[in-house]
Structure 1
Amino acid sequence: MNLLEFLKKNTKISIDSADLKFVKKHKFDSLTTNPTLILNSIINNSYNILLKKFFLNIKNNLLLDADIVISYYDYLLIFIAGNISPYIKDKISIEIPARISFNYKKIIIYSQKIIFLCTKFGLQKDKILIKIPATNSGILAAAKLKNFGIECNLTLIFDMNQVKKCFDNGIYLISPFVGRISDNIKCFYDSGVNFVKNILYYKKSFNYKTKIMAASFRNINQILNLYYCDYLTISPLFFEKLKNINFSFDLQNNINFKNFTINYDNYISSKLLLNGIIQFEKDHNKLVSLISFILNNI
C-alpha cells in the first residue's frame, strides 16, 4: 500500500484546499478552508463558470465586508462551501474573519450568520464547523455556540493552556499547528509532533471527547508520526507525495502515549497565536480586495 492508503485506515484525512476540481476528484473525509485557499482557487480558475454565475446573480446593495450584517464576502464564502460540500464525507470548517478573534460577542454573531447562510444554501448545520482562533474570547464563544447546536474547530493551538480550556469547555475539535511550533521551538525531537503527543496523552488520561486535528505540517515524517490523531489536515502537495510513496512497515504497535517535555514559555505561544491571526487577517483582506475588483469590473 502507499502512505495515503495507510493513513486512511487509521485516521480521517482533511484537505487544506478550496480547489473544487481537486476536491471533486478525491472526495476527502473533511475539509478546512481559509481566505488564502479561496483566493488561490479563484486565481487558478477553479471556479470560473460558477463565479460568473455568482457575481451576476448576487444582490448589488450589500456591503463588501461586515461583522454583523450579511456581506458579499459572506455570500462568497458560503457559495464556495456549498459547492464543495457534496464531495466531502464529514465536516467542512468555515473560518471567521481574524479581526474579530478577540471579540466574544462578534464571534457568536458572525458564527450564527455563517450557519444561517449555510442553511439558506441547503447545507446541514451538522456538516459545518466554525473555525475560530483559540483566543480566550474564541474558546468562550465556541462554548456558548454549543448551546445553539453550533460546533467549532478551534485553530492556532500552540500551548497546553489553550488545549485544557478547549477540553474543559467541550469544544468539538482543536487544530494544533505542528509545523509552526517546530519552526520556532527547537528540541532534540520534533517539538511540534511532541506537542500533539502531549495533547493526545492528556486527552487519553482524562477521557476528554474533543477531537484532535493535527495541522500545519512541514514534512511527511511529521504526518506519519501523528497518524493516530482523529484527523490530519494536509495540503494538496503532501497528498500527492503520500500517494506516491509505497509503504509496508506496520506502525500500529509503535504508538507510545507518554508525556514529552517541551520547555517554552507562554510568550512564544502567545506570539505565534497573534502572528497567526495577523496573517489570517492579511489573507482575508486580499480576498476582499479581489471581490471588490471583480464587482467593479463586471
Structure 2
Amino acid sequence: MSGEPQAKRTKMSSLDQLKQFTTVVADTGDFEAMKAYKPTDATTNPSLILSAAGMEQYQHLLDKAIKYAKEVGSSVEEQVAESLDMLSVLFGCEILKIIPGRVSVELDARLSFDKDASIAKAIKLVNLFAEYGYKKERILIKLASTWEGIQAARELEKKHGIHCNLTLLFSMYQAIACAEANVTLISPFVGRILDWYVKNTGKTYDIKEHPGVVSVTRVYNYYKKFGYRTQVMAASFRSAGEIYELAGSDLLTISPKFLKELAASELPVKRMLDPKLAANCDLEKISLSESQFRWHMNEDHMATDKLSEGIRLFAADTRKLESLIKTLLAKK
C-alpha cells in the first residue's frame, strides 16, 4: 500500500441523493433554472407563464405566438385564444429541448367544469406539439381535479393515449377518483394544505404533524398498497423540510429556490415513502361514484376551499395573459 493519503470522497448533494429514488421535476418557467439543476421533467401553469412572459428573454416566444394567431384567427377573440394555446406549446417546446423527460402543460382553468371542452383542448395542444416534432409521450396535460376534469382525463388516457397530470389536488377522495380513472399522475399541493390549516386553526405544525405531508403520505401508501399505476408528484412546498419528509414519492415538483437549497446541501436524504412500507399500512380500498365524490368534497372544507381558490387564481392569471396579448395584438 502506498503511504500517500487517500483522496477524500466527494459527498453527494441532497438533490443528487433525492434523485436516486424520486424523479425531480422543475416547477418553473425559467429555462436557465432547468439547465442549472437538470430535472427529469418540468411543469408549467398560467402563473409561471405569466411571470415569464414579462421577461425580456422570452419576448420572442410571445411574438411568435401572436404572429401565428394572426395567421389562423379572424376575430380578436380567436386570435387571443390561439395565442394562448400557442404560447403554452412554445414554452413547452423550449422546456423539452432542455429536459430529457416530460413537460406538463396546463389547460385553461375556466374549462375545469367542462369535460368535453377539456378533451378537445387537450387534443388540440397535443397536436400542436406534434407539429413541432414532440410526441404525446413527452406531454402531460394538466387538469384541475374536479369531477369533470378527472373524467376528461379518464377519456384522454383510455381513448386517445394522452397522459394527464391532475392538479389542484387536496383530498384523499380526489386522489382515489384519479386512481380509479387510471390517470398517469397526480399533483397534491403540500404547502397549500398547510396554509389552509394554519389560517383556519391558528396552530403551528411540526413536520410529523404537517397536514400536507400527512395527506400525501396517506395517498402514496394507498396507491402502492392497492397497486394503482397512477403516480404521486407532490407539489407546492413551503420548506425544504417538507421535501425531505416526502423523499421517495414517485415524483416531486420543486421550485428553483428549493432546488438551489438542496443542491447546496449535503444533508443526508432518507427514503421516507416506500412501497414496501405501504404494503403493510392499515388502509381499506374505496370506490367512488360521482355522487359520493361530490359529497365527500362537500364535507371537506379545506379541499373545497383550496380547489375553488386555485381555479380562480389560475383563471385570473390567464385573464392577465389575455390582456397582455390583446395589447400586443393591437400593436402588431
Structure 1 or 2, whichever has the larger Rg, is: 2
Kindly indicate whether the alpha-carbon contact (under 8 Å) linking 1:70 and 1:113 is maintained by their aligned counterparts in 2: no
Alignment partner for residue 99 of structure 1, among 100, 107, 110?
110
Q: Which runs of 4+ in 1 moved over 6 A?
A: none
Give the match's secondary structure for 2:20.
Answer: helix
Name the % identity.
35
Aligned counterpart, 1:172: 184
Once residues 221 and 299 of structure 2 are traced to their aligned partners in structure 1, the CA distance between those partners, rounded to angstroms, is 20
Gaps of 5+ in 1: none
Are 2:297 and 1:268 equivalent residues in the alignment? no
Q: 1:47 aligns to what SS in structure 2?
A: helix
Given the two structures, how large is their TM-score scaled by the length of structure 2? Answer: 0.82
Distance 1:28 1:64, change over 3 A: farther
Cα deviation per residue 1:184-238 (whole Å; 9 max; x = unaligned)?
1256600000000000111121111101000000000001111111110011111
Structure-1 separation of matches of 2:58 and 2:105 = 18
Q: Which residue of 2 aligns with 1:251?
A: 270
Q: Aligned equivalents of 1:231 and 1:26: distance in 2? A: 15
TM-score (ref. length: structure 1): 0.90
1:110 alignment partner in structure 2: 121
Q: Cα–Cα, structure 1 residues 148 and 65, in superposed 2: closer, same or farther, change >3 Å? A: farther
User: 1:3 offset after TM fit, Å?
Assistant: 1.4
Matched, 1:32 2:43: yes
**Inter-partner Cα distance in structure 2 for 1:268 and 1:253:** 25
For 1:161 and 1:254, how far apart are their aligned partners in 2?
20
- Structure 2, unaligned runs of 5 or more: 1-11, 199-204, 284-297
1:227 is aligned to 247
Q: In 2 relative to 1, CA 253–84 (structure 1 residues): closer, same or farther, beyond 3 Å?
A: closer
Contact 1:28 1:87 in 2 (8 A): no
Q: Which residue does 1:150 correspond to in 2?
A: 162
Compute the displacement of 1:246 (Å).
1.9
Shift of 1:96: 0.5
Partner of 2:150: 139
Is the Cα contact below 8 Å between 2:240 and 2:262 reproduced in 1?
yes
Q: Which amino acid aligns with 1:190?
A: H
- Does structure 1 conserve the Cα–Cα contact (< 8 Å) formed by 2:37 and 2:259? no
Equivalenced residues, count: 293
Partner SS state of residue 15, structure 1: strand
**Is the CA contact (8 Å cut-off) linking 1:10 and 1:227 kept in structure 2?**
yes
Partner of 2:220: 200
Local SS of the residue matching 1:122: coil
Q: Is the 8 A contact 1:64 1:71 kept in 2?
A: no
Q: CA deviation at 1:66?
A: 5.8
Q: What code does the residue aligned with 1:285 have?
A: R
Q: Contact 1:65–1:74 at 8 Å: present in 2 too?
A: no
- The yes-or-no answer on 1:16 pairing with 2:35 is no
- Partner deviation per Cα, 1:95-120 (whole Å, 9 max, x = no partner): 00001100111111111111111111
- CA distance 1:253–1:90, shift in 2 (3 Å): closer
Aligned-pair distance for 1:253?
Answer: 7.6
1:77 aligned partner:
88
